[in-house]
Amino acid sequence: MKKLLALTSLALVFTLGLTACGSSTTDGESDLPVASVGLVTDTGGINDKSFNQGSWEGVEAFKAANEGVKTGYIETKQDSDIQPNLDTSAAQNQVVVAPGFKFSEGMAVSAQANPNTKYIILDATPTVNEEEISLDNVASILFREEQAGYLAGVVAASTTQKDTIGFIGGVPLPAVMNFAAGYIQGAKAVNPDIKVDVQYANSFTDTTIGKQKAAAMYASGMDIIFVAAGGVGTGVIEQAKELVTQGTDAWVIGVDRDQYEDGLYEDGKSVVLTSAVKHVGIAVNETLEAIKEGTAAFGQVQVLGINEDAVGLPTENPNITDQAVLDLVGKTTESMKSGEISVQTSTDFPVQEAKIY
């Protein structure tokens, strides 16, 4: 994949009202190389303010740049519907996009049953009996979450007024644990004595659990929580807003997308300190462009990181007001790109358990 480039305001093309909930169909023949694209969400839904939403923004960015392309989405309500939803979208579209680990098994079944349909799977690969397989109509994209997590840890340790910072993950899966592993390493690179309280919600949708865990963490004396848990993060942000309006310091580090606006509470102020971003929308958009051009890497797994500008922090971070912190983030980013700083994944830096590291 070519080097990822920043798209101008993906949010401007995120117009749910213009696209029905359900994949669009293409009537008859089309001269377009990619005439129709369908997205299948996981149970977090299209407006999860995280991975599904970011992927959809990438689909809509492709549509905006390619006249005549039809797009649509199917929201998965329960996990048992994943594979049927993939098949439904495949019957209606030339390309099917599926964001998340839950699609691994269903993707293998659907892609083999629909060899003329192209598939893009994010954060996962097609698997059969938990074994990865290669399919010549599936492009798999993984991200180096640990690199974005490392930068988040640098910011947290440089900003906190406490000796412990928090991490709330969704389900302890590789992508989530990679964020945690990087976060701990980045924080300890700044302050070797800092502690990181790692907890898991075992959910990507339960906002109540997110709020409860955040309340307990902030009450214990923490002032910064990094949350990598999809919709659970909404509860964490809500709790931080409540505390801040009561005069308590409570920062959140968002995930996947720049979540600054999600943290707004009054007069343009936000509880979101920064976000560990994965540019899933850009990855989706550029993969669709590659399919259009006939250069997509089907049957391969692409792992995109900081050298491809696929992960990192937002370009604008209004709540990081200390220039020394911004300079450190910049220096750290360049050191990772050059290889001077190598960040371990959760395979080498195990964070499967909920405990203080």
Domain that holds residue 29: 10-143+279-308
Is 179 part of any domain? yes
Tell me: do 215 and 348 sit in the same domain: yes
Tell me: do 235 and 89 sit in the same domain: no
Cβ contact 244:265 at 8 Å: yes
Is 2 part of any domain? no
Q: How far is CA 185 from CA 11, 17, 214, 348, 352, in A?
A: 32, 42, 22, 12, 15
Is 337 part of any domain? yes
Q: How far is CA 91 from CA 36, 84, 111, 224, in A?
A: 11, 11, 11, 46
Is 1 part of any domain? no
Is 5 part of any domain? no
Is 116 part of any domain? yes
Q: What is the DSSP letter of 228?
A: E
pTM of the model: 0.85
Tell me: do 219 and 297 sit in the same domain: no
Tell me: do 91 and 238 sit in the same domain: no
Tell me: do 79 and 159 sit in the same domain: no
Tell me: do 349 and 205 sit in the same domain: yes
Per-residue pLDDT of the chain (357 residues; tens, 9 = 90+): 434 433 333 333 333 333 334 434 444 345 678 999 999 999 888 988 778 998 999 999 999 999 999 999 999 999 999 999 999 999 999 999 999 889 999 999 999 999 999 999 999 999 999 899 999 999 999 999 999 999 999 999 999 999 999 999 999 999 999 999 999 999 999 999 999 999 999 999 899 999 999 999 999 999 999 999 988 999 999 999 999 999 999 999 999 989 999 999 988 899 999 999 999 999 999 999 999 999 999 999 999 999 999 999 999 999 999 999 999 999 999 999 999 999 999 999 999 999 999
Q: Which residues pair with 278 in a beta bridge?
A: 311
Tell me: do 197 and 134 sit in the same domain: no
Tell me, what CATH number does 124's domain have?
A: 3.40.50.2300
Tell me: do 57 and 197 sit in the same domain: no
Tell me: do 153 and 58 sit in the same domain: no
Is 314 part of any domain? no
Number of domains in the chain: 2
Tell me: do 199 and 348 sit in the same domain: yes
Q: Residue 12 has which token pair?
A: 């401007």
- How far does the chain reach from its first CA to its final CA, in angstroms? 36
Tell me: do 170 and 104 sit in the same domain: no
Tell me: do 75 and 54 sit in the same domain: yes
